Amino acid sequence: DTGVSQNPRHKITKRGQNVTFRCDPISEHNRLYWYRQTLGQGPEFLTYFQNEAQLEKSRLLSDRFSAERPKGSFSTLEIQRTEQGDSAMYLCASSPMGGRRIEKLFFGSGTQLSVL
């Protein structure tokens, strides 16, 4: 399977715990995005990387959230001291960057986080 892979598919945790999600993008894609989606809403942008550089981070993103893409391949998203409001589907997407234009995004199946 050469699509975007996310692990785990589901994560249940207690409030206050830390969680980490992993995303493996399509291998030749240099852009990697993280989004969060709750029921009835569209995906909300969190952050994106071009290769290993984190180019943009949402102003809405709490400092409890951190993302890395150390070698420009896979990425991790960590949430520290989780809160019930963090419960959501966390979507990763990758894209080739054609010059200055964004090409289509390919999404993974997401990680569903439930904070109890």
Partner 1 sequence: RKEVEQDPGPFNVPEGATVAFNCTYSNSASQSFFWYRQDCRKEPKLLMSVYSSGNEDGRFTAQLNRASQYISLLIRDSKLSDSATYLCVVTSLNYGGSQGNLIFGKGTKLSVKP
Q: Which residues bind partner 1 (CB under 8 A)?
A: 33, 35, 40-45, 48, 55-56, 91, 100-102, 104-105, 107-110
Q: Which is nearer to partner 1, 79 or 91 (CB)?
A: 91
Are the C-beta atoms of 96 and 109 separated by less than 8 Å? no
The DSSP result for 15-29, as a single string, is TT--EEEEEE--TT-
CB of residue 33 vs partner 1: minimum separation in angstroms? 7
Select 21 or 33, whichever has its Cβ closest to partner 1: 33
Shortest separation between residue 73's beta carbon and partner 1, angstroms: 20
Of the candidates 33, 21, 35, the one whose C-alpha atom is nearest the C-alpha of residue 76 is 21
How many whole angstroms separate alpha carbon 15 and alpha carbon 114? Answer: 9
Q: How far is the CB of 31 from partner 1 (least distance, A)?
A: 9
